[in-house]
Amino acid sequence: MMIFVPDHFISKVIKESSAPIPKCKVENTDAVINLHLDDVLSAYFPSVMSYFTKEEPPAGNLLEIKFKELILDLLSSPHNESLCSYFKSLCDSSKTSLREIMESNFTYNMKLEEFAYLSGRSITSFKKDFINTFNCTPGKWLLKRRLEQAKYLLEVTDKNINELVFETGFENASHFIRVFKQAYGLAPLQFKKSIIEHIQHETVST
C-alpha cells in the first residue's frame, strides 16, 4: 500500500491542529526516510486497508481524516527524528516546497529556469535551495528520478520505448537507452525481458 500526502496538506494539518512538533534539529533529509514502526503505526495501515476490501471505494473525506490521523501519529512518535525535521521545515518555510514542485513536474522535459519559475525562485536561489534540500544538483536528481520512474513503468506496464521517453521527461530515445543501461546494467528492452522471464519462471515453479 502506498499513501501519497502533499507537503501543503501536512503543513496545514500540523498548523490547524496546533500539534507540537518534537524538538529536533532541522537538517537535510534524503528523498526516502525510513520510519520506526511502533504499535500505533502497525495498527494504522491495516485500518486503512480495511476500507478497500469493500465493493465501494471509501469516501474522500473519510480518507482525509485517516491521512490526518497518520500525520498526527507520526508526530507523536519520539523515534522519527528525520521525519520530524522534515515536518518542521515544511511549517517553517515561507517558500513553495521544492520537493513538491519537483515530484509533481520531474516527468516534464523543462529547463531549470522553468522549474525555478514554478517554485517562485530565481535560478540562483533555486540551485542553492535545491542542493540544500536534495544534497545534489538538479541535473543529477532529475536523471535519477526519471530513471526510477522509467524502471517502475517497465515493471508494471507494457509501454514501448517512445512512450517511456515521453512520460519520463527524457530528451530522446537514444539518450534514455544509454543512461538506463549505465544505471541498471541492461538496456530497457533487455530489462523488460528479464522481468517477463522471471515471472514465467516463478509461475512454472509454483
**Residue-wise pLDDT tens digits, 127-177:** 999 998 899 999 999 999 999 999 999 998 999 999 999 999 999 999 999
What confidence category does residue 25 fall into, taking pLDDT thresholds of 50, 70 and 90? low
pLDDT score recorded for residue 9: 82
| Rounded Cα gap, residues 70 and 66, in angstroms | 6
Residue 68 CB coordination number (10 Å): 19
User: Sign of the C-alpha dihedral, residues 165, 148, 89, 49?
Assistant: positive
Q: Are 146 and 170 in contact (CB under 8 A)?
A: yes
pLDDT tens for residues 47-92?
A: 888 888 887 878 888 888 988 888 888 887 778 777 877 777 777 6
Compute the half-sphere exposure of residue 166: CA atoms within 13 Å on the CB side of its CA.
5
Q: Are 97 and 90 in contact (CB under 8 A)?
A: yes
Give the CA dihedral 173, 174, 178, 184, nearest 10 degrees.
Answer: 20
pLDDT tens for residues 94-138?
A: 566 788 889 989 999 999 999 998 888 889 999 999 998 899 999
Identity (one letter) of the amino acid at 63?
A: L
Q: Which residue is it, cell 517502475?
A: 152
Quote the cell numbers at residue 53: 476490501
Quote the cell numbers at residue 93: 518555510
Model-level pTM greater than 0.75? no
Per-chain mean pLDDT for the chain:
84
Residues 6+ positions from 122 with CB-CB distance below 8 Å: 116
Q: Are 119 and 126 in contact (CB under 8 A)?
A: yes
Alpha-helix runs per DSSP H in 50-172: 60-76, 81-92, 98-105, 112-118, 123-134, 138-156, 161-168
pLDDT score recorded for residue 102: 92
What confidence category does residue 26 fall into, taking pLDDT thresholds of 50, 70 and 90? low
pLDDT score recorded for residue 165: 94
pLDDT score recorded for residue 81: 78
